[in-house]
Chains A and B, each alone.
Chain A
Amino acid sequence: MNPHPLIESLAGIYPEGRLLIHPGELASFESDGLTSYRTRPAAVVIAETQGEVIETVTLCHQHGVPFVARGSGTSLSGGSVPVKDGIVIALNRLTRIVRLDLTERIAVVEPGVINLDVSKASAASGLYYAPDPSSQQICTIGGNVAFNSGGAHCLKYGMTSNHVLALKAVLPDGEVVQLGSESVEGVGPDLVGLFVGSEGLFGIALEITLRLLPRPEQYQTVLAAYHSLEAAGNAVASVVASGLLPGAIEIMDRLAIQAAEAAVHPNYPKGAEAVLIVELEGEAEQVAEEYKRLEVVIRDSGAYEVRLAQDEADRQRIWKGRKSAFSAVGRLSPDFIVQDGVVPRSRLGETLAEIKRLSQQYNIRVANVFHAGDGNLHPLILYDGREAGAHERAEKLAGEIIRLCIRLGGSITGEHGVGLEKRGYLPEMYGEADVDLMWKLRCAMDPKQIANRGKMFPSGASDGPQAARATGLHPLEREGIISRE
């Protein structure tokens, strides 16, 4: 593969400063939120218009050179790690909110718009964009669409896919398509649902029509502390069985609490083996009644301390501890792997016990943070990359946890995606015929397989990114600018 004729063509589109080819300029694009993988692209283009993106994709297709679309680079599965000698199309400058229709409750945005900015733009009308990845202050809608991102409140409102009504996208061969409509209902196959979560393999979203929701009138956030992780897990089962559907149900274990305390001082109850966060939200009367029911469930669940957020600042403090947990773990360990798996809720207790056993067997510390309401686990595997073989052992443990999820009838990812990190596990979750069908779909959308090549599917001999490992926190993470979920 010789990308140089392509770069010559790209120079015809992009002025100096928006076409990066020197190693020093490329360095900051070599990695993403999965910091242990690094690959150098041939060039990075910084697009400012949809037209430039379309032209770039078309040229890549003509030259048969792979490309990776990139927003803020917060992917935790290596989804935006470049392809060696390929092109990175940076979308951070496509930040137009094309249309905001507050009576129809929709926002039409370009892919580089930051998640939280959609809510900020609609806040004056009492509306917001519901999906809330922990990185929402920096992650972009384009990346959210590619990976069908989740967040703590997706328990009640659904993932990104449930909030995208329509898409304008450029397919990997340069064809521009319009999918969906502004209605929540559709006719024919759900093509928007097909595109959302396709991990950049089906092309690049250029304009995304998002559904906005009215901000809940009332929140009631409860923090309960337990002497054992199992008791907290059982409390989740009781909350769900009671018929309540809270906005969020989250659990953090002792190690995760310790990290959060060191980083952002949320002042969680002392001596807790686990804390449970349950947030009710909605109309005031409904929340008041739901709280009566929740109070009984929590009281009977063996919590030794229960706190109720007194005001918005208090609520934000509780959430800050949870949302910063991943990065905070950097205080406990120089390196860590963020795992993302799902198990049926009824197998949560069993799963946690097995993770504990594995942690002891490997003699590797594992902190647990999870979206307990939907069985989505985020074990954080702590290691020191400077020790010989430590990374390999940590990855092996991570693999055992993922296989455990598959064995219990769960999934290899809840919200981070398959990306680079988990492509080897796809055939363990699906049969040969199933993966083959997905591959055919990939080829139908991208005949030359240039869009985000090497992601999601198990690596062939030639197409996998030749990732070199790095250790430690992402520099921005170390500065506290970005955080992971």
Chain B
Amino acid sequence: MLRPTTIEDLQAAVREGGRLLPRGGGTKPALSTPTEGVTPLDLSGLSGVLEYNPGEFTFTALAGTRVAEVQALLDSHGQYLPFDPPLADRGATLGGTVAAGVSGPGRYRYGGVRDFILGVRMVDGNGDVVYGGGKVVVQLHCAALQETMQALYRVYTARLDVDALDLAPETDGSATLWVRLGGLPDALPARAERIRAMLGGGDNVTGEREAWLWREARDFAWAQPDWILVKVPVTPKRIASVETLHATSLRRYSAAGNVAWIASPESPQSLDGHLSSVGLSGLMLFGPPGHARLGIRTGQAVERRVKEVFDPQNRFSET
């Protein structure tokens, strides 16, 4: 296990050679547990917010910084990360969130993690420090660099006086729909009423229980700890094909039917086959190492070209 505490150490570790697997808080074990012959590269020693500018709604932090630490800082200025970073309360780091490309329920309304990154400084596979992106809200047109080692994160969001509430209409008993609204408090009751009318019912959930519900969703507290957990991008029409999968699995659909989170007792190989057969891709968060990506893969020709530029010697392992 390597644990650099300076950028120079990190560069040296990469230049040293061998196959490396970066690791932050280890909250997504399927992505951070190394396979045979791969050395874990622990980035928790590269932690801390370097700069925070509340007036510009931007901050810069090292990749090993825990999301929860950032959230506490932002909260002190009435700001927050609207894409609801998953697993924050379990210790997820910014670097891990970006590298995995995972967002929570709020991504439906405000955009996903990728939309909030304004610039990235990183160590590439040659051990060189490079920068991509800008520092202001509107960007120079540049590649979105996701394979991060050390990242700069800037956030652009304004928090209104949020007084959220949820609606839980009972459908046929097999599924529950949760709708979260946020906005100016005086407008919320009327807006919620319109949704209730549209759905033909539903109860308000507020206060502690409301907060607990969404925390539970963000942290996957509903998923069995010894099952696999897989993110599958879908569209509302594709939900039916996900529902044909393993009957004993648990499914949560997020972002208005754009993401299926599947918790399942089956093996990664079996789910991989299922996803391929219906033309979907998956990213495994919980489960054994060696199966980060399941199902079909698109854009491999471009991905290969990008990889050759950023990591020509194939230092960084996918798992």
Residues of A at the B interface (CB closer than 8 Å) are 103-104, 106, 147-148, 150, 158-159, 161-162, 171, 175, 177-191, 193-195, 197-199, 237, 240-241, 243-245, 283, 285-286, 288-290, 293, 342-346, 371, 374-376, 409-415, 417-418, 429-431, 433-434, 437-438, 440-441, 444-445
Given contacts A414-B138, A444-B308, contact A346 B55 (CB under 8 A): yes
**Interface-central residue, A158, A286, A293, by most chain B CB under 10 Å:** A286
Determine which of A150, A178, A180, A437 lies in contact with B132 in the assembled complex, contact meaning CB atoms within 8 Å.
A437
B69 close to chain A: CB less than 8 A? no
B267-312 contacts to A, CB under 8 A, are: 281-283, 293, 297-299, 301-303, 305-306, 308-310
B146 close to chain A: CB less than 8 A? yes
Question: 12 interchain pairs (CB within 8 A)?
Answer: A183-B234, A184-B233, A186-B233, A186-B281, A243-B161, A344-B56, A411-B135, A434-B131, A434-B132, A438-B142, A444-B305, A445-B305
Complex contact B136–A342 (CB within 8 A):
yes
B187 close to chain A: CB less than 8 A? yes
Determine which of A103, A190, A345 lies in contact with B236 in the assembled complex, contact meaning CB atoms within 8 Å.
A103
1/0 per residue, CB under 8 A from A, across B62-77: the answer is 0000000000000000
Given contacts A175-B301, A182-B235, contact A438 B143 (CB under 8 A): yes
Q: Which residues of A contact B144 (CB under 8 A)?
A: 161, 190, 193-194
B96 close to chain A: CB less than 8 A? no
CB of B301 to closest CB in A, whole Å: 5
Complex contact B138–A187 (CB within 8 A):
no
B221 close to chain A: CB less than 8 A? no
Complex contact A289–B137 (CB within 8 A):
no
Q: Which residues of B contact A150 (CB under 8 A)?
A: 138
Complex contact B306–A199 (CB within 8 A):
no
B175 close to chain A: CB less than 8 A? no
CB of A148 to closest CB in B, whole Å: 5
Complex contact B309–A285 (CB within 8 A):
no
Q: Which residues of A contact B194 (CB under 8 A)?
A: 283
State A104–B237 Cα separation when bound (angstroms): 7
1/0 per residue, CB under 8 A from A, across B225-266: the answer is 000000101111110000000000000000100110000000
Given contacts A199-B141, A437-B124, contact A410 B146 (CB under 8 A): no
B191 close to chain A: CB less than 8 A? yes
Of the listed stretches B111-119, B197-205, B209-217, chain A binds B111-119
Q: Which residues of A contact B38 (CB under 8 A)?
A: none
State A59–B301 Cα separation when bound (angstroms): 20
Given contacts A191-B303, A240-B158, A290-B184, contact A104 B235 (CB under 8 A): yes
CB of A34 to closest CB in B, whole Å: 16
Complex contact A289–B124 (CB within 8 A):
no
Q: Which residues of A contact B298 (CB under 8 A)?
A: 178-181
Chain A, residue nearest B140 (CB) = A411
Q: Which residues of B contact A185 (CB under 8 A)?
A: 103, 107, 112, 231, 233, 255, 258-259
B147 close to chain A: CB less than 8 A? yes
Chain B, residue nearest A345 (CB) = B56
Complex contact A189–B231 (CB within 8 A):
no
Q: Which residues of B contact A345 (CB under 8 A)?
A: 55-56, 137
Complex contact A179–B141 (CB within 8 A):
no
State A346–B131 Cα separation when bound (angstroms): 23
State A440–B233 Cα separation when bound (angstroms): 31
B17 close to chain A: CB less than 8 A? no
Complex contact B140–A180 (CB within 8 A):
no
State A243–B77 Cα separation when bound (angstroms): 12
Complex contact A241–B302 (CB within 8 A):
no
B186 close to chain A: CB less than 8 A? yes
Given contacts A193-B114, A375-B137, contact A188 B233 (CB under 8 A): no
State A437–B301 Cα separation when bound (angstroms): 19
